[in-house]
């Protein structure tokens, strides 16, 4: 191993580790260093497909994007996807390895996987100058510490200098920082080079007495206070990042004239996966998005979207119990409906699971589209490009609109009768490509389903979707559209700029034996961005 290593640890989940890791990746890259992110084990229902046709956590794909490099399965060798009943699907090196209970995984199996984690880290370390590692949860979870392969054990293996991040927005930041350090062993404590207070709102001078007291108590320097960054259009790792309902949000939904936003209701399944599929749609000024868990929240919706689900049949049964299924079916009689991945499978006639991949037996779908789905043990994880098959969406002509996204699913869909596919796709890997049909669309094109995650990230399709839906409801045509790719890069730059100004970057670079240049002579390769 040759790479230098710095690690971002947190006092808790959602402390901001993922985005701080992304910011550091970008800053090291801007300084001209070859840099890669690494998280040995991630637990998330938000995932991404790599060019190799493998699956990793979405956060590591985002961090790779921040660094201007291609995402690799070695950046996240183990991905745990919660599957209900205290079990998780275990994805190792991008492929399904098994489904285990939390106890079985931590007590019996995790040690089997550590050599694979080391293999992935060594490969990245041989190819890069700097590795920015991300921890998980807290390094002080003493009940899990014996078999923790994400935090201090990984820091030791990589010989990483660590920063400890506390989230002041949730309260109790000083107690959480002190408690975390106190629960570490002396050798682990020595690896913590400094601490960071994250998501601060207000006058930072008011923090000074607490920071000085904390520095004295734990004998570690504060390397900065990072402000809360509003409206950052970057992926959240878990459901804690789902938008909360607020007054402004509800006001936009309740506007009644023809220039109002298009109202898009997304069913917030208990096992909702890849909710980042809708970040680009949420950013559009002519759209109001609401995540819904009750039937009454669907009132007034123009488009209802059934998103991805890790437990498709369980979430379908949950919909039935909450009255959401009947509300969607009634909406679909005259209005617009879309389904993504697991949500698409629910729109069909039948879901069969003969091998008990998610649950045993079969379950009737919403019967809004003519197809059935059979769950299979193997998972498809591929990036795709394509075109609409019919050239119509919501009854409006949509010509030559390119599609792009990625598939992550275990279902195999077969058509019934004269079903019409939604898209013609080219599945791509680094070694081959394959042409396939995808999804299904109703004869009047008011209802469609697709396996494509990331569908709305493409400006061409997202803008066509908005235009067609607004025209269907005789709403005033949208006059302003976002360039999502540019918006993301601006968000990366804004994140990196805020972190660069807030943290003592010279000290952090010194931890890994590098010099920080205030005005770097060599920046990231723009083509890689």
Helices (H), 31-162: 58-67, 102-104, 110-127, 152-158
Residue 92 phi/psi, 5° resolution? -120, 130
Tell me the per-residue pLDDT of 397-450, one tens digit each, with 9 for 90 and over: 998 899 999 999 999 999 999 999 999 999 987 777 899 999 999 999 999 999
Contact 132, 17 (CB under 8 A): no
Q: Please give the average per-residue pLDDT across 354-361, as a whole number.
A: 81
Q: What is the mean pLDDT of the segment spanning 338-359?
A: 93
pLDDT recorded at residue 529: 41
What pLDDT does residue 1 have?
A: 60
Select, from the ranges 82-91, 199-208, 505-514, the one with the highest average predicted confidence (pLDDT).
505-514
What's the pLDDT tens digit per position in 253-278? 888 899 999 999 999 999 999 989 99
- Does residue 453 carry a catalytic annotation? yes
Digit-coded pLDDT (tens) for 129-183: 999 999 999 999 998 888 899 999 999 999 999 999 999 998 899 999 999 999 9
- CA atoms of 217 and 226, how far apart (whole Å): 21
Q: Which of 418, 415, 423, 368 is nearest to 391 (CA)?
A: 423
Catalytic residue, from 341, 384, 409, 463: name it.
341
Identify whether 517 is a catalytic site residue: no
Given a cut of 60, is residue 204 above it in pLDDT?
yes
Q: What is the mean pLDDT of the chain?
A: 92
Domain 260-475 = CATH 3.40.50.880 = yes
Q: What pLDDT band is residue 355 in, cutting at 50, 70 and 90?
A: confident
Residue 438 contacts residue 424 (beta carbons within 8 Å): yes
Runs of H (alpha helix) within 150-233: 152-158, 173-182, 186-191, 208-218
Which pLDDT score is estimated for 239?
52
pLDDT exceeds cutoff 90 at 84? no
Mean of pLDDT values over 63-82: 96
At residue 399, the pLDDT reads: 87
pTM: 0.90
Closest CA to 346 of 380, 371, 383, 321: 371
Average pLDDT over residues 236-250: 57
pLDDT per position as a tens digit, 18-45? 999 999 999 999 999 999 999 999 999 8
Which CATH architecture does the domain made up of 4-233+488-528 adopt?
A: 3-Layer(aba) Sandwich (3.40)
- Confidence at residue 524, expressed as pLDDT on a 0 to 100 scale: 59
Mean per-residue pLDDT, 484-503: 95
Residue 184, pLDDT score: 96
How many residues are recorded in the chain?
529
Phi-psi region of 294 (alpha: psi -120 to 50; beta: other; left: phi over 0): beta
pLDDT at 527: 33
Cα dist from 500 to 92, 170, 235, 507, whole Å: 34, 23, 20, 12
Average pLDDT over residues 51-63: 94
Q: Do domains 4-233+488-528 and 260-475 have the same CATH topology?
A: yes
Rg, Å, the chain Cα set: 24
| Residue at token pair 């007590």 | 107
Most confident of 247-256, 329-338, 359-368, 429-438: 329-338
Residue-range domain boundaries for the chain: 4-233+488-528, 260-475
CA–CA dist 463, 33 (Å, integer): 37
Residue located via tokens 């591929």 = 382
């Amino acid at each position: 191993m040759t790479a230098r290593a710095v690690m971002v640890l947190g006092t808790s989940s959602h402390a901001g580790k993922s985005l701080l890791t992304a910011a550091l990746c970008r800053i090291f890259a801007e300084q001209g260093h070859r840099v890669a992110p690494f998280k040995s084990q991630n637990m998330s229902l938000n995932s991404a497909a790599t060019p190799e046709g493998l699956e990793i956590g979405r956060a590591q794909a985002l961090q790779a994007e921040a660094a201007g490099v291609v995402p690799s399965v070695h950046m996240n060798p183990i991905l745990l996807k919660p599957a209900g009943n205290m079990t998780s699907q275990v994805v190792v090196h991008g492929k399904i390895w098994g489904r285990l209970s939390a106890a079985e995984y931590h007590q019996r199996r995790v040690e089997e996987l550590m050599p694979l984690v080391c293999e992935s880290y060594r490969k990245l370390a041989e190819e890069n100058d700097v590795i920015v590692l991300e921890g998980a949860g807290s390094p002080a979870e003493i009940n899990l510490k014996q078999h923790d392969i994400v935090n201090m054990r990984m820091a030791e293996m990589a010989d990483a200098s660590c920063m400890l991040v506390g989230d002041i927005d949730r309260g109790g930041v000083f107690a959480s920082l002190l408690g975390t350090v106190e629960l570490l062993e002396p050798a682990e404590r020595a690896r913590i080079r400094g601490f960071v207070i994250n998501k601060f709102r207000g006058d930072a001078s008011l923090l000074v007495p607490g920071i000085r007291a904390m520095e004295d108590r734990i004998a570690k320097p504060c390397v900065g206070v990072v402000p809360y960054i509003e409206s950052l259009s970057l992926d959240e790792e878990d459901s804690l990042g789902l938008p909360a309902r607020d007054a402004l949000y509800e006001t936009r939904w309740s506007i009644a004239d023809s220039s109002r936003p298009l109202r898009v209701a997304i069913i917030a399944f208990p096992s909702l996966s890849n909710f980042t599929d809708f970040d680009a749609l949420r950013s559009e000024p002519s759209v109001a998005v609401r995540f819904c868990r009750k039937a009454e929240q669907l009132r007034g919706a123009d488009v209802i979207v059934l998103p991805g689900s890790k437990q498709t049949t369980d979430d379908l049964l949950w919909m039935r119990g909450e009255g959401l299924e009947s509300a969607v079916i009634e909406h679909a009689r005259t209005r617009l409906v879309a389904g993504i991945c697991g949500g698409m499978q629910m729109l069909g006639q039948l879901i069969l699971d003969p091998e008990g991949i998610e649950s045993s037996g079969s379950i009737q779908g919403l019967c809004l589209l003519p197809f059935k789905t059979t769950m299979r043990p193997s998972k498809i994880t591929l990036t795709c490009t394509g075109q609409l098959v019919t050239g119509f969406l919501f009854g409006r002509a949509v010509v030559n609109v390119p599609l792009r996204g990625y598939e992550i699913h275990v279902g195999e869909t077969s058509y019934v009768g004269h079903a019409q596919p939604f898209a013609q796709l080219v599945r791509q890997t680094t070694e081959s490509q394959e042409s396939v049909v995808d999804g299904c669309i109703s004869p009047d094109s008011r209802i469609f389903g697709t396996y494509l995650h990331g569908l709305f990230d493409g400006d061409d399709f997202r803008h066509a979707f908005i235009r067609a839906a607004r025209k269907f409801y005789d709403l005033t045509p949208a006059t302003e559209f976002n360039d999502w790719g540019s918006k993301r890069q601006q968000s990366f730059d804004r994140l990196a700029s805020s972190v660069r100004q807030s943290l003592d970057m010279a000290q952090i670079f010194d931890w890994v034996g590098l010099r920080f240049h205030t005005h770097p002579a060599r920046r990231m390769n723009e083509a890689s961005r």
